Amino acid sequence: MAGGWRVMRIAGADVVVRPSLVIVGVILVIVFAPQFDDMGAGPNPYLTAVVFVLSLFVSVFLHELAHLAAARWFGMTVPLVQLHLLGGETQIEGDSRHPWQELVTSIVGPLSSFVLGIVALWGAAASDGTLRAVLWSLGFINILIALFNLLPGLPLDGGRVLRALIWALTGSEATGVRVAGWIGRLAAVGLAAWSLWLTTTADPFALGRALLILAVALFLWQGATQALRHGVYVARIGSLVAAELMRHEPPPPGAVPISVDLRGRDLLLAMAENPAEVYALVDARGAVVGTLDASAVDRAYREAR
Ligand SMILES: [Zn+2]
């Protein structure tokens, strides 16, 4: 797999670690080691920071596993779980998705981070020394991850929740993608501004934090832009309906028969399975009802908005 390492396969999904996770891990160790030193945590603050960052990656993985479990529960296909700069991402595919399934699948991630955070803070209260310092930081950052991921912009979980809500209310997934995608871009701009502001403060850790936040902002912008492009693609494909593109004339002899009820992705898949210039549209009983030109589908896709 290009640009990453496949570390395991779980419930049909490849778990891939992206190089950006390693980079962010190194930055986190550099940012957190002096803070562990300040807290008087253990003889080697860098070792403490490495343990902390590794347990942070484990909790990010558990967050993604919650998404994976919910998606599989609803019978969706999950080809890929990635661990990268922004934490993680679980790619979900499936034709029979409904807004409320999307909502549940999205929200279980931040919920699990929140629960992990509470458990870690509770553990910190019951321990002392290095363990207390690591658990306290882990609890704090997991709650931060839960709150950050609930921001209502794509590609964050909160953006997926907002997309699902708009999708449920308007019946249009593409509208949900547009709104949540633009809020994602706004959040990226906000983070970039925060990062710039941090560099003007006298805090000794400001530069490290500013770089980390700037990296997250860039990643968020890229993710939101990708989601917006995907939304246009979903809308264009969704607008293709065989019955609407049908020519009310008998097809030429030997034309490939496909169902007149096909639409969207299913229509494109049926055409891709039987490549032809002209199709005979047939109803459920197999009776020919009209003609579909491949060129008409092609034109409709290009002209769709
Ligand atoms: Zn998530």
Ligand 1 centroid to Cα of residue 291, in Å, is 45
Query: Does the reported pTM lie above 0.85?
Result: no
Ligand 1 centroid, distance to 217 Cα (angstroms): 17
Q: How far apart are the first and last CA of the chain?
A: 34
CA of 297 to the centre of ligand 1 (A): 36
**Structural domains of the chain, count:** 3
* 63 alpha carbon – ligand 1 mean position (Å): 6
pLDDT greater than 60 at residue 95: no
Q: Which of 108-117, 206-215, 227-236, 262-271 has the highest mean pLDDT?
A: 108-117
* 24 CA → ligand 1 middle, Å: 18
Question: Separation of 261 CA from ligand 1 center, angstroms?
Answer: 36
Element (H, E) at 83: strand 77-84
- Expressed in angstroms and rounded, the spacing between residue 157 Cα and the centre of ligand 1 is 5
The answer to the question of residue 95 being in a domain is: yes
Residues 142 and 81 in one domain: yes
Cα separation, 225 vs 184, whole angstroms: 9
Residues 273 and 294 occupy one common structural domain: yes
Q: How far is the CA of 30 from the centre of ligand 1 (A)?
A: 25
Q: How long a stretch of residues is the chain?
A: 305
Structural domain contains residue 160: no
Ligand 1 mean position, distance from CA 193 (Å) = 24
Dist. CA 83 → ligand 1 center (Å): 11
Is residue 159, in this structure, part of any structural domain at all?
no
pLDDT score of 290: 93
Q: How far is the CA of 132 from the centre of ligand 1 (A)?
A: 26
Arithmetic mean of pLDDT over the chain: 87
Looking at the structure, tell me whether residues 25 and 67 fall in a common domain. Answer: yes
pLDDT at residue 94 greater than cutoff 70: no
User: Rounded to whole angstroms, how far apart are CA atoms 20 and 222?
Assistant: 14
- The answer to whether residues 224 and 247 belong to one domain is no
Is residue 145 located within the same domain as residue 9?
A: yes
**Residue 101: band (very low, low, confident or very high) from pLDDT cuts 50, 70, 90:** confident
Q: What is the pLDDT of residues 5-16, one digit of tens each?
A: 888 898 888 888
Condensed to tens digits (0 to 9), the pLDDT of residues 227-260 reads 888 877 777 787 789 999 999 999 998 899 999 9
Do residues 106 and 209 share a domain?
A: no
In a domain, 13, yes or no: yes
Give residue 256 CA to ligand 1 midpoint distance, Å. Answer: 44
Regarding whether 256 and 269 lie in a shared domain, the answer is yes
Q: Is the pLDDT of residue 65 over 70?
A: yes
Identify the band that residue 128 occupies on the pLDDT scale cut at 50, 70 and 90.
confident
- Whether residues 50 and 193 share a domain: the answer is no
Tokens of 225: 């832009």
Contact indicator for 94, 108 with CB cutoff of 8 Å? no
CA 80 / ligand 1 centre spacing (Å): 13
User: Which range of residues forms the domain containing residue 141?
Assistant: 1-150
For residue 304, pLDDT over 80 is answered with no
Q: 68 C-alpha vs ligand 1 centroid, how far in Å? A: 10
Q: Indicate the DSSP class of residue 14.
A: E
Give the Å distance between the CA of 138 and the centre of ligand 1.
17
Q: For residue 182, report the distance from its CA to the centre of ligand 1, in Å.
A: 19
185 in the same domain as 215: yes
Task: Tokens 């490495």: give the residue.
Answer: 50
The per-residue pLDDT for 204 is 72
- Calculate how far, in angstroms, residue 123's C-alpha sits from the geometric centre of ligand 1: 24
> In 3D, which of 210, 279, 284 has the Cα closest to residue 247?
279
Residues 29 and 70 both lie in one domain: yes
In a domain, 158, yes or no: no
